[in-house]
C-alpha cells in the first residue's frame, strides 16, 4: 500500500496544483499531489486515512453506482444515460465540478442531488414517495451509489461552477451571507470554524475556507466517513454542520442548501476535486 504511494508521488507531483488537471481514476493521488504542493495541517492530519484511500469502500460504491446508472429502471424502464447534468445528456466527465448550476428546463439552480432526483422522476418515472427517491443517505441507497459514481467522473478536475446566469450569482451570494450570519443560541456562523487557518475543534483539524487548497478537500463529497462507515453527500455534511451550530434542521435540497453549496464550491474554484474522498 505504501509502495503505491511512493510510485504515485512523482506522478502526482507532475499534476500538483495545476487547475487544468484532467480527470483521474485515483483520488488518493489527487490528494497526495495537493499535499506535496502546499504546507497544510488540515490536509495532512490523517496519515491513516491517506493509507486507506486506495482500498476505500467508496471505490466499490462507484462501481455499484455505475451499474445502476446504466441499468434500465423505474416505471419507464430507461437508464440515466439520457440525463443532462449540465454538460449535455449523458456527459458525466466534469459535470459534478460544474454544479450547482442553472438548468433551463427547471428554471432553477440545482446540485447533483436535485438533478439526479429530477432525472429519476422525469426520465425513469419514479414517484415522489418511491424509496429510490426519498432515501438519500447511506452507502446502501441508490441515491448515494449514483451520486458517488457521477461525482467520481470529475475526480482530479478543477471546481468550476458557472456564475454567468443571474440566478447562479444570486444563489452564490446568498450563500455567502448565510456563511457569515451570526445566528442561534451559540451565535455561530460557518466562519467560526472555517474562518482561520490551522485551527482544531477537539482533535479534528479544520479546513480554512479562504485557502482553496484546503477547501477543495473540505467540499469533496461524496466521501467515505470512516467514523460513520458510510458514504456521505454534500447535503449530509451541510446538515451536520447546521446541527452542530444549533441552527434549525435544514431541508436537504432546499434552495437554502443549494445557496450554501454554491458559495462553498465557488470558494474552492480552480483546485482539483478529490472524489470520492475519505474523511474521519
Q: How far is the CB of 49 from another protein (least distance, A)?
A: 17
Residue 134 is a binding residue for another protein (CB under 8 A): yes
How many residues are recorded in the chain?
280
C-alpha span between 5 and 12 (Å, rounded) = 10
For position 171 contacting another protein by CB under 8 A, the verdict is yes
C-beta separation of 225 from 237 below 8 A: no
Q: Is 241 a catalytic residue?
A: yes
Residue 47 interacts with another protein (CB under 8 A): yes or no: no
Within 223-252, the residues that bind another protein by CB under 8 A are 239, 242-244, 246-252
Residue 108 contacts another protein per CB under 8 A: yes
Least distance in angstroms from the C-beta of 244 to another protein? 7
Nearer of residues 155 and 234 to another protein, judged by Cβ: 234
Q: With contacts defined by CB under 8 A, how many residues of the chain interact with another protein?
A: 57
- Distance from C-alpha of 119 to C-alpha of 84, rounded to nearest angstrom: 8
Distances (CA, A) of 106 to 96, 103, 122, 235: 18, 6, 11, 20
129 binds another protein (CB under 8 A): yes
Tell me: does residue 128 bind another protein (CB under 8 A): yes
Q: Which stretch binds another protein (CB under 8 A): 4-12, 150-158, 188-196, 271-279?
A: 188-196
Residue 225, Cβ density class (10 Å: 0-12 exposed, 13-18 middle, ≥19 buried):
buried
CA distance linking residue 107 with residue 153, whole number of Å: 25
- Among residue numbers 192 through 211, which ones bind another protein (CB under 8 A)? 192-193, 196, 198-203, 206
In terms of Cα–Cα distance, which of 107, 144, 119 is closest to 252? 144
- Which residue has 482500498 as its cell numbers? 55
All three cell numbers of 185, joined, read 443560541
Residue numbers at the binding site for another protein (CB under 8 A): 108, 114, 117, 128-129, 133-136, 166-167, 170-171, 173-178, 180-189, 191-193, 196, 198-203, 206, 239, 242-244, 246-257, 259
Residues identified as active-site: 241
Amino acid at each position: 500500500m505504501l509502495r503505491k504511494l511512493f510510485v504515485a508521488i512523482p506522478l502526482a507531483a507532475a499534476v500538483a496544483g495545476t487547475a487544468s488537471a484532467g480527470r483521474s481514476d485515483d483520488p488518493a493521488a489527487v490528494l497526495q499531489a495537493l499535499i506535496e504542493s502546499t504546507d497544510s495541517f488540515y490536509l495532512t492530519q490523517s496519515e491513516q486515512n491517506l493509507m486507506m484511500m486506495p482500498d476505500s469502500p467508496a471505490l466499490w460504491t462507484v462501481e455499484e453506482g455505475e451499474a445502476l446508472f446504466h441499468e434500465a429502471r423505474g416505471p419507464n424502464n430507461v437508464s440515466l444515460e439520457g440525463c443532462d447534468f449540465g454538460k449535455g445528456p449523458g456527459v458525466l466527465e466534469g459535470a459534478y465540478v460544474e454544479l450547482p448550476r442553472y438548468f433551463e428546463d427547471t428554471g432553477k439552480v440545482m446540485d447533483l442531488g436535485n438533478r439526479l432526483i429530477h432525472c429519476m422522476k422525469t426520465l425513469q418515472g419514479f414517484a415522489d414517495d418511491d424509496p429510490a427517491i426519498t432515501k438519500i443517505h447511506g452507502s446502501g441507497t441508490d441515491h448515494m451509489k449514483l451520486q458517488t459514481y457521477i461525482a467520481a467522473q470529475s475526480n482530479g478536475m478543477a471546481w468550476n461552477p458557472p456564475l454567468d446566469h443571474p440566478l447562479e450569482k444570486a444563489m452564490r451570494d446568498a450563500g455567502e451571507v448565510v456563511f457569515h450570519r451570526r445566528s442561534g443560541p451559540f451565535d455561530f456562523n460557518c466562519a467560526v470554524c472555517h474562518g482561520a487557518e490551522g485551527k482544531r475543534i477537539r482533535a479534528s483539524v479544520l479546513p480554512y475556507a479562504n485557502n482553496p487548497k484546503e477547501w477543495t478537500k473540505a467540499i469533496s463529497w461524496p466521501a467515505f466517513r470512516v467514523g460513520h462507515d458510510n458514504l456521505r453527500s454534500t447535503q449530509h455534511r451541510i446538515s451536520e454542520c447546521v446541527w452542530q451550530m444549533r441552527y434549525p434542521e435544514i431541508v436537504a435540497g432546499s434552495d437554502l442548501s443549494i445557496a450554501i453549496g454554491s458559495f462553498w464550491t465557488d470558494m474552492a474554484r480552480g483546485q482539483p476535486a478529490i472524489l470520492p474522498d475519505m474523511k474521519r
